[in-house]
């Protein structure tokens, strides 16, 4: 259930996101571009229904989207991935889950949760870094407890440990990633990775 993005623009964006000399303004643009590609991948199988329309020349039965979408960024870094989803799907509802890893233990602490109606909707949880998987597993659990059923996890860089943790806790949730990296270091950062995504996104 791991989908790895395969697109030359995606590889280009990842390289410049990794580059430690990339400044926050460019970092945000690259995060937008790569998240847009991921948004397209993660919605490739959205259901459609047929709508009868009249072209200037003749009537035609043609597909339109048939399932409401919810995007849920995990604060704060996940905010850097939201805009492509709202640009592509203007009717999307946005929920927020605030989780922050403790710097010493790397265990995520919950500090905020605001979710829209979830029933019958396709839910895309977005968080750029899937490291230990602790944050993603917690977020997916909360969403399921609130009635969310059809979930996808969309990240930019994943680790083998993070993917394994999500697959074990939530085997029904497909994972979309732009880069699947080698391993975690002793501080639970992804290698080669790109460092602290939130800090680089917001210049903190
Ligand atoms: C980062 C990242 C993920 C989490 C991943 O957030 O955005 O949410 O770490 O790590 P995990 O898979 O080991 O849980 P962080 O906790 O640093 O907070 P931030 O987004 O506010 O920077
Ligand atoms: N969070 C980040 O921002 N980067 C990592 O490598 C791991 C967790």
Mean pLDDT of the residues in the chain: 97
What pTM did the predictor assign?
0.96
pLDDT at 33: 98
pLDDT tens sequence across 104-153: 998 999 999 999 999 999 999 999 999 999 999 999 999 999 999 999 99
200 lines ligand 1 (CB under 6 A): no
Cα pseudo-dihedral 149, 65, 156, 180, rounded to 10: 80
**Domain hosting residue 198, numbered range:** 2-202
Mutate which of 103, 193, 204 for ligand 2? The one with the most ligand atoms within 8 Å of its CB, which is 193
Model confidence at 62: pLDDT above 90: yes
At residue 103, the pLDDT reads: 86
**Total structural domains within the chain:** 1
CATH number at residue 132: 3.40.50.2020
Q: What percentage of the chain carries pLDDT values higher than 90?
A: 97
Query: In ligand 1, which atom is closest to the CA atom of 108?
Result: 14
């Amino acid at each position: 259930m791991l989908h790895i993005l395969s697109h030359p623009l995606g590889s280009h964006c990842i390289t410049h996101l990794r580059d430690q000399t990339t400044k926050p303004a460019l970092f945000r643009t690259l995060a937008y571009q790569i998240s847009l590609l991921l948004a397209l991948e993660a919605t490739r199988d959205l259901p459609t229904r047929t709508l009868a329309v009249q072209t200037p020349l003749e009537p035609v039965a043609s597909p339109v989207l048939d399932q409401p979408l919810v995007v849920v960024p995990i604060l704060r870094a996940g905010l850097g991935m939201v805009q492509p989803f709202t640009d592509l799907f203007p009717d999307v509802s946005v929920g927020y889950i605030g989780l922050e890893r403790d710097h010493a233990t790397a265990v995520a602490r919950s500090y905020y949760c605001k979710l829209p109606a979830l029933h019958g909707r396709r839910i895309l949880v977005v968080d750029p870094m899937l490291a230990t998987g602790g944050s993603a597993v917690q977020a997916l659990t909360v969403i399921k407890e609130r009635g969310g059923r059809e979930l996808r996890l969309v990240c930019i860089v994943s680790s083998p440990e993070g993917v394994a943790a999500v697959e074990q806790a939530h085997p029904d949730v497909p994972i979309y990633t732009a880069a699947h990296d080698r391993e975690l270091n002793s501080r639970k950062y992804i290698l080669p990775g790109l460092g602290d995504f939130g800090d680089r996104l917001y210049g903190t």
